[in-house]
Amino acid sequence: MSDQTSYLLASIDALELRPDTREILARIGVRTLGNLFCYTEADLLRTKLFGHKSLGDIRRALQRFGLELDRGAQNQVRNPN
């Protein structure tokens, strides 16, 4: 694996997310950054108990590393809050 993709093996703990966000990600099987990048923002927003606050938490954490998730069809997702 190249240095450019080795971050995909990093634990999701490296993002220092809020406990509720970590719990939701763990519930859907996200343990590494590679697992996280299998989801779009729209996918995550369709996950039970995952809302815009958790998404913002992930966005801010990824930005610190110069990364971002694919937004997917986010425009089609309604904000339930």
Would residue 80 count as lying in a domain? Answer: no
Q: Smallest Cα–Cα separation from 26: which of 40, 11, 43?
A: 11
Please give the C-alpha separations between residue 7 and each of 20, 42, 54, 69, in angstroms, as whole numbers: 23, 23, 21, 14
Would residue 35 count as lying in a domain? Answer: yes
Query: Is the pLDDT assigned to residue 5 strictly greater than 90?
Result: no
CATH at 23: 1.10.150.20
The domain of 12 spans 6-71
| Count of beta carbons in the 10 Å neighbourhood of residue 51 | 16
Number of domains in the chain: 1
Would residue 79 count as lying in a domain? Answer: no
pTM above 0.95, yes or no: no
Report pLDDT digits (tens) over 12-70: 999 999 999 999 999 999 999 999 999 999 999 999 999 999 999 999 999 998 899 99
Would residue 76 count as lying in a domain? Answer: no
Of residues 74 and 73, more confidently modeled: 73
Would residue 30 count as lying in a domain? Answer: yes
Would residue 66 count as lying in a domain? Answer: yes
